[in-house]
């Protein structure tokens, strides 16, 4: 459990809109992920969660900082080239919008088998089709879906196909970029159970990005909170939910509805004052595994 799989150090990513305007999507974010861990990343829209995910997947080239995957610097061209094949099969990503992450003109069987055919892997179960059928049954769908097109499936089924595609490579790190955001609640639970199962039974580490705080609490071992491109707090789930320290985290947690009408009525929402947000703090350790962004004490 203690082996460090992913080490993100001072990651910064800037989007250049035109000559004058730049957007700092991710600003000096550092965290580590241990092997076999589920790390949640929460925050409001536009807080830079997806950008972090895409930097980790080498989709974006970080403007600054380093990302080490098993001591391989994935921002470094030479090291990347050397380990490219390994990285491409061990890291997989699931996108939020399953409609656009699956090619409408490919059948389910082709979609699931795509990574295997790219890497020219010898399928363990005879043919690529058999492999696709197995992965599909793993996510709870039967073989009759193999020849369907994504447009013929429901949103939950599409998302499961996307997960089956990612799992077909038996990844070590699964980056799930809001995989449940566009699904209804019962399907969300199925997907969450599926991810949990992958983690428990197959030891796959998951970076779980979401804005649904109760799902994150249920699934994740540790949670990081992002706000305006900064990581404001990161701690083990129980610790964070019981003892939030950063004002933004407090505000965020106070927004979780309580499934008890009497308690819900007395729930007080804490408003976070955007003006008071201090970008220039330093992630400071306040408990064993609990870090909060705060002003350095002189």
Partner 1 sequence: MTEKELFTVVGIRPEPPAPKKKVKRLKGFPWISGILLALILLCCLFAELLMTKEPGYLDLQNFNVAPNGEFLFGTDTLGRDIFSGIWYGGRISLTIGFLATLISTLIAVVYGSVSGIAPGWLDALMMRFTEIFLSIPGLLMVLFLQAILGQANVLSLSVVIGVTGWASIAKVVRTEVRQIRNSEYVVASKCMGGKFPHILRKHLAPNFIASIMFMVVMNVRGAIGSESTLSFMGMGLPLEIISWGSMLSLSEKALLTDSWWIIIIPGAFLVTLLMCLTNIGNYLRKSANRKESNL
By C-beta, is 82 or 119 nearer to partner 1? 119
- Residues constituting the chain: 298
Q: Is 118 a binder of partner 1 (CB under 8 A)?
A: yes
Applying the rule CB under 8 A, the residues between 8 and 37 that interact with partner 1 are none
Tell which residue, 256, 228, 261, has the closest CA to residue 244: 256
By C-beta, is 91 or 246 nearer to partner 1? 91
What's the closest the beta carbon of residue 141 comes to partner 1, in angstroms? Answer: 5
What's the closest the beta carbon of residue 105 comes to partner 1, in angstroms? Answer: 4
Return the range that interacts with partner 1 (CB under 8 A); candidates 13-21, 30-38, 103-111, 288-296: 103-111
Size of site (CB under 8 A) for partner 1: 44
Applying the rule CB under 8 A, the residues between 175 and 234 that interact with partner 1 are 189-190, 193-194, 197
Q: Which of 16, 76, 77, 103 binds partner 1 (CB under 8 A)?
A: 103
By C-beta, is 103 or 214 nearer to partner 1? 103
Per-residue binding letters, 55-84, with partner 1 (x by CB under 8 A):
--xxx------------------------x
Up-side HSE of residue 90: CA atoms within 13 Å toward CB? 16
Q: Which of 145, 208, 227, 272 binds partner 1 (CB under 8 A)?
A: 145
């Amino acid at each position: 459990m203690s082996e460090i799989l992913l080490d993100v150090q001072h990651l910064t990513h800037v989007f250049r809109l035109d000559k004058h305007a730049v957007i700092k999507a991710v600003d000096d974010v550092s965290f580590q992920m241990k092997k076999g861990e589920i790390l949640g990343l929460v925050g409001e829209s536009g807080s830079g969660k997806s950008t972090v995910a895409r930097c980790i997947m080498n989709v974006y080239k970080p403007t600054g900082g380093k990302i080490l995957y098993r001591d391989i610097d994935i921002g470094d061209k030479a090291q990347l080239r050397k380990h490219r094949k390994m990285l491409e099969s061990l890291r997989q990503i699931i996108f939020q919008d399953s409609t656009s992450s699956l090619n409408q003109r490919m059948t389910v069987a082709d979609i699931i088998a795509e990574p295997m055919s790219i890497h020219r892997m010898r399928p363990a179960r005879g043919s690529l089709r058999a492999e696709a059928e197995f992965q599909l049954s793993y996510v709870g769908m039967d073989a009759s879906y193999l020849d369907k097109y994504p447009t013929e499936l429901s949103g939950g089924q599409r998302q499961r196909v996307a997960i089956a595609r990612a799992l077909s490579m038996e990844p070590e790190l699964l980056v799930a970029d809001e995989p449940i955001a566009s699904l209804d609640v019962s399907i969300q639970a199925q997907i969450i159970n599926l991810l949990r199962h992958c983690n428990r039974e197959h030891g796959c580490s998951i970076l779980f990005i979401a804005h649904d705080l109760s799902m994150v609490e249920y699934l994740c071992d540790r949670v990081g909170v992002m706000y305006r491109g900064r990581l404001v707090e990161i701690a083990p789930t129980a610790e964070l939910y019981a003892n939030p320290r950063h004002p933004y985290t407090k505000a965020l947690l106070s927004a979780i509805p309580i499934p008890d009408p009497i308690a819900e009525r007395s729930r007080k929402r804490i408003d976070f004052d955007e003006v008071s947000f201090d970008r220039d703090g330093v992630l400071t350790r306040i408990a064993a595994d609990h870090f909060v962004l705060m002003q350095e004490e002189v």
